[in-house]
């Protein structure tokens, strides 16, 4: 009986050695179920509860786990690992929202309209020039004072600045970003609210503001203070 058990143990040992010969076992887990696992660019498996096991040849590999959100975004994380012969390793990935390759192409096309020139940013599509000096992230005014500030501003050789309308201010929001949700060409921005020149129709004591943390809008009392970013029509 002891001899049979010994032979069975040896057989199992040989079977295990044969299974992993020249390969390593990688266990992959992610915080998103139903995400695809890519090894060196090739789709291999899908994540579930706990760890998903994959056998890999000895050597260095790139593990990428991704789950689509929409055509431009996905949850994604990647890691490079070295797999040794007959070894076992675990990796756990936290997926973060990122742009897909298609999304990056769309983003590049979108950003092509913006041009930074010293302390201003030019929107080539709408023909607008935006203030983007250090004061754009430090000057806070009440609504009437904000309008007067822009009227008195001289910047980049121009003195015809004004407080932007609600629609103009929204045109510089980048909804693919947060903290700050503004086009990357802008370098001087506070995460909080900026005044627009547009009044709130339901209450003449309020005006619209844009919050550049997330690109959301609010109506606030004109007696409150907010940041100011001026604009002018490029000629």
Residue 45 maps to which CATH number? 2.60.40.2070
Give the domain-ending residue among 82, 103, 124: 103
75/150 same-domain check: no
pLDDT digits over 32-91, tens only? 999 999 999 999 999 999 999 999 998 999 999 999 998 888 999 999 999 887 778 899
Q: Would you say residue 200 lies in a domain?
A: yes
Tokens of 102: 């298609």
Q: Would you say residue 108 lies in a domain?
A: no
The answer to whether the Cα torsion of 197, 202, 204, 210 is positive or negative is negative
131/78 same-domain check: no
222/153 same-domain check: yes
Confidence of residue 21 (pLDDT cuts 50, 70, 90): low
pLDDT digits over 121-160, tens only? 999 999 999 999 999 999 999 999 999 999 999 999 999 9
Residue 152 maps to which CATH number? 3.10.100.10
Compute the CA torsion angle 100, 102, 103, 109 (nearest 10 deg): 150
pTM of the model as a whole: 0.61
Give the domain-ending residue among 103, 133, 151: 103
Give the domain-ending residue among 103, 131, 164: 103
pLDDT digits over 69-83, tens only? 988 889 999 999 998
HSE on the CB side for 158, CA within 13 Å?
18
**Which residues does 90 contact at the CB level (< 8 Å), separation at least 6?**
26, 27, 28, 29, 51
65/123 same-domain check: no
Q: Which residues on adjacent β-strands are paired with residue 53? A: 27
The answer to whether residues 83 and 24 touch, using CB atoms and an 8 Å cutoff, is: yes
């Amino acid at each position: 009986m002891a001899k049979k058990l010994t032979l069975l143990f040896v057989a199992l040992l040989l079977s295990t050695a044969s299974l992993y010969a020249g390969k390593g076992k990688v266990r992959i887990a992610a915080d998103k179920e139903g995400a695809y696992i890519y090894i060196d660019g090739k789709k291999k498996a899908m994540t579930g509860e706990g760890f998903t096991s994959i056998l890999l040849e000895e050597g260095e590999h790139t593990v990428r786990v991704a789950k689509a959100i929409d055509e431009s975004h996905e949850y994604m994380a990647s890691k490079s690992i070295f797999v040794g012969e007959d070894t076992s390793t675990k990796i756990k990935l936290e997926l973060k929202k990122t742009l897909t390759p298609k999304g990056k192409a769309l983003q590049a096309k979108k950003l092509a309209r913006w041009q930074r020139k010293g302390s201003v940013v030019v929107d080539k599509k709408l023909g607008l020039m935006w203030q983007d000096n250090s004061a754009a992230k430090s000057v806070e005014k009440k609504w009437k004072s904000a309008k007067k500030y822009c009227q008195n501003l001289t910047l980049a050789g121009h003195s015809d600045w004004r407080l932007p309308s609600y629609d103009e201010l929204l045109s510089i929001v980048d909804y693919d970003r947060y903290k700050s949700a503004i086009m990357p060409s802008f370098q001087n921005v506070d995460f909080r609210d900026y005044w627009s020149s547009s009044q709130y129709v339901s209450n003449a004591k309020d005006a619209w503001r844009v919050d550049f943390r997330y690109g959301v809008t609010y109506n606030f009392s004109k007696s409150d203070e907010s940041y100011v970013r001026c604009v002018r029509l490029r000629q």
